[in-house]
């Protein structure tokens, strides 16, 4: 007969059901311990709230940056307009002041000082203009000496007057009925031969066919010019051509 061997392990008095229950308990505890070591993840609504808060913070930062960039651009444009305005203001000053590198306060101060000077100069020029206009004879006064000359010569319809303007300048007025353009060129040659510089000349024809010529002359250097002799020369020129 074969001898019966004892079992290789012992249950230490536990039944089979107790062993199974014990193994299940160990497995559950190991699983619970492993799960407790993992971090707790948020639920889906919590994730949505987190994303909204994150993107809101990022969007707020972008809005602040945009406002800052817009402010910088506006400030740059404002400074550019101010500089252009001061440059335009500086260009109104005399050339001697424009060559100086004046600061903005110095530019404003110089302009405030220059405005009264400019007004005074304009008033002086206006007064000089009125004086010159008062010295120039009217058409009636210009024709009248011509009538007196007609009585003396018996045939001329021309009149010449010479008016001093000051500072070595003279205005010569010629009234004639001849429409010969070459005569005006010859008259200019006569005044230049007498040492006068032609500054300006003009002519127009009145309704009655009379031609009026105006010569603005200036004495060159310190030469002494007898305007009465010059007037006689010009009158003889226009009497010479019928």
pLDDT for the residue 145? 46
Q: What percentage of the chain has pLDDT greater than the value 70? A: 61
Q: What percentage of the chain has pLDDT greater than the value 90? A: 0
Q: Which stretch of DSSP H or E encloses residue 30?
A: helix 16-37
More confident residue, 188 or 225: 188
Confidence at 56, pLDDT banded by 50, 70, 90:
low
Residue 162 lies in a domain: yes
Q: Is 125 a residue whose pLDDT tops 80?
A: yes
3-state DSSP assignment of residue 212: strand
Residue 195 lies in a domain: yes
User: Residue 152 sits in a domain of what CATH number?
Assistant: 3.30.70.260
Mean pLDDT for 49-71 is: 66
Q: Is 109 a residue whose pLDDT tops 80?
A: yes
Query: Which of these ranges, 85-89, 157-161, 232-236, has the smallest mean pLDDT?
Result: 157-161
User: Residue 131 sits in a domain of what CATH number?
Assistant: 4.10.280.10
pLDDT for the residue 241? 61
Residue 110 lies in a domain: yes
Residue 24 lies in a domain: no
Residue 5 lies in a domain: no
| Number of continuous H segments (helices) and E segments (strands) in the chain | 7, 4
More confident residue, 134 or 193: 193
Sign for the pseudo-dihedral over CA of 127, 133, 136, 140: negative
Residues 1-36: tens digit of each pLDDT: 444 444 444 444 444 444 444 455 555 454 444 444
pLDDT for the residue 176? 79
Residues 35-46: tens digit of each pLDDT: 444 455 555 555
Confidence at 61, pLDDT banded by 50, 70, 90:
low
pLDDT for the residue 164? 79
Residue 78 lies in a domain: yes
Same domain, 86 and 162: no
Asked whether 159 and 143 are in contact (CB, 8 A), the reply is yes
Percentages of the chain per state (helix, strand, coil), in multiples of 5 = 60, 15, 25
Sign for the pseudo-dihedral over CA of 176, 178, 180, 182: negative
Same domain, 150 and 198: yes
- Residue-number span of the structural domain to which 110 is assigned: 71-135
Same domain, 163 and 108: no
Same domain, 94 and 108: yes
Q: How far apart are CA 6 and CA 27, in angstroms?
A: 30
Same domain, 117 and 131: yes
Residues 75-99: tens digit of each pLDDT: 998 888 888 888 888 887 887 777 7
Same domain, 152 and 118: no
3-state DSSP assignment of residue 102: coil
pTM of this structure? 0.36
Query: Which of these ranges, 63-77, 125-139, 160-174, 213-227, has the smallest mean pLDDT?
Result: 125-139
- What is the number of domains present in the chain? 2
Question: Which token pair is 112?
Answer: 């405030």
3-state DSSP assignment of residue 161: strand
Same domain, 215 and 144: yes
pLDDT for the residue 163? 81
Residue that terminates a domain, selected from 135, 164, 181: 135
């Amino acid at each position: 007969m074969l001898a019966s061997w004892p079992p290789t392990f012992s249950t230490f008095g536990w039944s089979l059901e107790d062993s199974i229950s014990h193994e299940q308990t160990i497995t559950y505890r190991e699983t619970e311990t492993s799960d407790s070591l993992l971090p707790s993840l948020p639920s889906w609504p919590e994730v949505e709230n987190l994303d909204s808060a994150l993107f809101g913070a990022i969007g707020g930062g972008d809005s602040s940056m945009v406002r800052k960039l817009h402010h910088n651009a506006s400030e740059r444009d404002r400074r550019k307009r101010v500089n252009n305005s001061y440059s335009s203001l500086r260009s109104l000053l005399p050339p001697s002041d424009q060559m100086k590198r004046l600061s903005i306060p110095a530019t404003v101060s110089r302009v405030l000082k220059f405005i009264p000077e400019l007004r005074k100069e304009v008033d002086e020029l206006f007064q000089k203009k009125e004086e010159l206009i008062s010295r120039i004879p009217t058409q009636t006064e210009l024709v009248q000496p011509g009538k007196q000359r007609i009585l003396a010569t018996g045939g001329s319809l021309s009149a010449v007057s010479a008016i001093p303007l000051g500072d070595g300048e003279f205005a010569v007025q010629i009234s004639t009925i001849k429409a010969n353009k070459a005569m005006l060129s010859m008259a200019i040659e006569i005044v230049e031969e007498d040492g006068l510089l032609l500054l300006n000349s003009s002519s127009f024809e009145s309704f009655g066919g009379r031609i009026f010529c105006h010569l603005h002359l200036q004495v060159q250097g310190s030469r002494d010019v007898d305007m009465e002799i010059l007037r006689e020369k010009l009158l003889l020129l226009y009497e010479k051509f019928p």
